[in-house]
Copies of this chain bind each other. A is one copy, B any other.
Amino acid sequence: MTTFGTAPDASLPLPTVLVTALSDRFGPRLSRGESVRLQHGRDESKFPPAPPDAVVFVETTEEVAAVVTLCREHRVPVIPYGAGSSAEGHVLAVRGGLCVDLSGMNRVLAIHPEDQDVTVQAGVTRLQLNRELKGSGLFFSVDPGADATLGGMAATAASGTNAVRYGTMRENVRSMSVVCADGRVVKTGNRARKSAAGYDLTHLFIGSEGTFGIITELTLRLFPVPEAVAAAVCAFPTVAAAVQTVIQVMQLGIPVARCELLDALTLKAVNRYSKTTLSEQPTLFFEFHGSTAAVEEQSVLAGEIAREQGGQDFAWATRPEDRSRLWQARHDAFFACLQLKPGATPFVTDVCVPISALAVCIEDTIKDVQASSLPMPLFGHVGDGNFHMVLLIDGANPEEREEAERINEQVIGRALALGGTCTGEHGVGIGKAKHLVREHGQPAIDLMQVLKAAIDPDGLFNPGKILPRPA
């Protein structure tokens, strides 16, 4: 691994009186050991580790409130930690401070099948939740690939493969409990399907990346397990043909449940890593949900569109185990790509553009790929206009680092010029603050700064994330 971005800011050691107070309350659940700190100071991103000064393992909302109150008293940063699966350095303690590990808050508190919602502690992971929902006839839809915690997914506005049909975290959180800067617990929203009762605090916290408060509980929307599910892969002669297929599927309003593009290099990586034998060509992975008749109707339509674009016949994964294997391979694509250049540092792009701009955005990006010597597999949630490239670089090689930065800048500039965003789903973290002004304009960034200063006046919640430090 290598250094990207700036080095951690200087931070003071934790005040002894704070350590004593935490130690008195949490006993062995407070850790200052190096390995625990290091483990909590890194994620899946390209950024070098930035360990916190200590880690506290909390079990209740009240404990989080007590920790926040103590840290505020001593002006110590607080960094919430779930599964450490962030792709943008969200959990890195770039200004030191106390890491609050919420993974022990892993209880499903209440399932309400009649209301199609569930209330969980923030440390429950999405796979755990779906295991606990088995037999209820319902499932939680948001699926970013990693087995992230639901608190972390809300904090980063996660999405993933299913979002094209069921929405991102923004559409799937009904209410939350959040510990705020003054140590009080704010309850946002309620379990009604809609409300117009005052400011929308739920969406205020979704995507705030731990900089406004610590999410401790969530009520999430669930969907009925579809009567029928069908998954298919379809290989195309070119990426452009695959993208055109996606655009037409979306524009026809076919309610695909998943619609993923993988380019030829990604397929090669996947075949090696997951022992699959998929054709090493640009390929779409589809999934259709609905009644048996609706699934049949959707897949016939999508198949016709694909054929018109030169796609091969759909190869169906009909048995549940084949389907799981296919999607596991898709989810492992990132790790598969890492093996294309063992030891490489991955530099992952995450732009998202309006569907009408997807073809030109991807076609021009492929020219970047072709002009570069770096391996950079391309894949993503194209039904949403969101795609990733994994730029595989030798972190010790400044030229490769520079080239990756340059290509990332190009892709982001292109997406913004097309009316898109620098991050479809990974979030800002520590790496993308510099693109926000270009994306949103100075008045919007100033308003974001106003919000941050008002909600977290001492700037202790996950400092160094999202916004550049105010001048």
Contacting residues, chain B, for A415 (C-beta < 8 A): 192
Contacting residues, chain B, for A192 (C-beta < 8 A): 352-354, 384-386, 415, 419-421, 424
- Which chain A residues in 225-275 approach chain B with CB under 8 Å? 247, 250-253
Docked pose: A424 CA to B168 CA in angstroms = 23
Question: Which of B115, B196, B356, B454 is A354 in contact with, Cβ under 8 Å?
Answer: B115
Of A37-45, A46-54, A289-297, A366-374, the stretch lying at the interface with chain B is A289-297
Additional A-B contacts beyond A192-B421, A194-B386, A293-B294 (7; CB < 8 A): A115-B356, A186-B444, A188-B440, A190-B420, A195-B424, A223-B253, A294-B297
Contacting residues, chain B, for A440 (C-beta < 8 A): 187-188, 197-198, 201
Does A432 sit within 8 A of B, measured CB to CB? yes
Question: Which of B157, B196, B445 is A157 in contact with, Cβ under 8 Å?
Answer: B196
Which residue of chain B lies nearest to A384 when distances are taken between CB atoms in the complex?
B193
Question: Chain A, 411-450, contact with B by CB distance < 8 Å: what is the 0/1 string?
Answer: 0000100011111111110001001100111011111101
Docked pose: A252 CA to B167 CA in angstroms = 20
Contacting residues, chain B, for A247 (C-beta < 8 A): 114
Contacting residues, chain B, for A171 (C-beta < 8 A): 167, 171
In the complex, the 9 A-B pairs of residues with the closest C-beta atoms, listed nearest first: A203-B203, A454-B454, A114-B356, A224-B253, A195-B421, A184-B443, A115-B354, A192-B352, A157-B196
Interface size on A, residues (CB 8 A): 89
A427, chain B: closest CB distance, angstroms: 4
Which residue of chain B lies nearest to A202 when distances are taken between CB atoms in the complex?
B203
Does A206 sit within 8 A of B, measured CB to CB? yes
Docked pose: A192 CA to B247 CA in angstroms = 14
Question: Chain A, 113-145, contact with B by CB distance < 8 Å: what is the 0/1 string?
Answer: 111110000000000000000000000000000
Docked pose: A387 CA to B350 CA in angstroms = 42
